[in-house]
Amino acid sequence: MGGVSGVRLRPLVAGAHACTLMTLLVFAVMTAVPAGAPLAWSGARGMPLAWLFNLLAWCGPGFVVAFAAWRLRAALPEAGLGAGIALRLWLLAALAFAAQGVWTLDPNELDAGASRWHATAWMVWNLAFGAGALMAAFALRAVRWPSLVICALVALSLLVPSLFGDQLGARMVLVGWWGWTLLLAWRLPSRR
């Protein structure tokens, strides 16, 4: 029930997401980032304590969620090919989430250098997350309908950015990520 070999995944995933949320809020206030700025702006080169923001918002939570995905997949070896792919996509998405903190935005070169790598990590995170949610909808009965709804949200945010706007869309994807990963940690059976 939420634990794999004595490790409770639910509080790990919830704590990781709480860390991201609190870091985003605290640094937005601390650095006076405008509401419409990219989520990663507080961690951009030249921002005060950017390294700490990137560690607490992206790297730490990404690695914790990746650990949870890895442990859950190891606990469900008989779940089938589709479930295995969905959980591995969750792992890939979590690692890409963490990579956003490794390759930070450069406000002077938003279309080059580290900013380009950051954008690549962001896109891999989005694609792996969306594909994982879609695969989970077909392969994991316990999370079928919520995964479909979350997959649709991600697809709309990415494919029709004018529907929500760039920054609201990015925030909706982040909330969808939190919801989907918490759903997997809570609803999927795990072995002790």
Q: What is the pLDDT of residues 123-156, one digit of tens each?
A: 999 999 999 999 999 999 999 999 999 999 889 9
Q: How many CB atoms lie within 10 A of CB 189?
A: 11
- Do residues 63 and 98 make contact, with C-beta atoms less than 8 angstroms apart? yes
Q: What is the pLDDT of residue 154?
A: 87
pTM here is 0.91
Q: Which pLDDT band holds residue 5 (cuts at 50, 70, 90)? A: very low
Residue 97 scores a pLDDT above 90? yes
Would the CA dihedral through 160, 164, 168, 172 be positive or negative?
A: negative
Domain ranges in the chain are 6-187
By CB atoms closer than 10 A (0-12, 13-18, 19+), residue 143 is buried
Q: What is the pLDDT of residue 61?
A: 98
Q: Which pLDDT band holds residue 191 (cuts at 50, 70, 90)? A: low
- Do residues 91 and 71 make contact, with C-beta atoms less than 8 angstroms apart? no
Residue 2 scores a pLDDT above 60? no
Residues 48-61: what's their mean pLDDT? 97
Tokens representing 17 are 């997401």
Q: How far is CA 13 from CA 81, 97, 103, 178, 181, in A?
A: 24, 13, 23, 9, 7
Tokens representing 49 are 């304590």
- Do residues 147 and 133 make contact, with C-beta atoms less than 8 angstroms apart? yes
Q: What is the pLDDT of residue 7?
A: 64
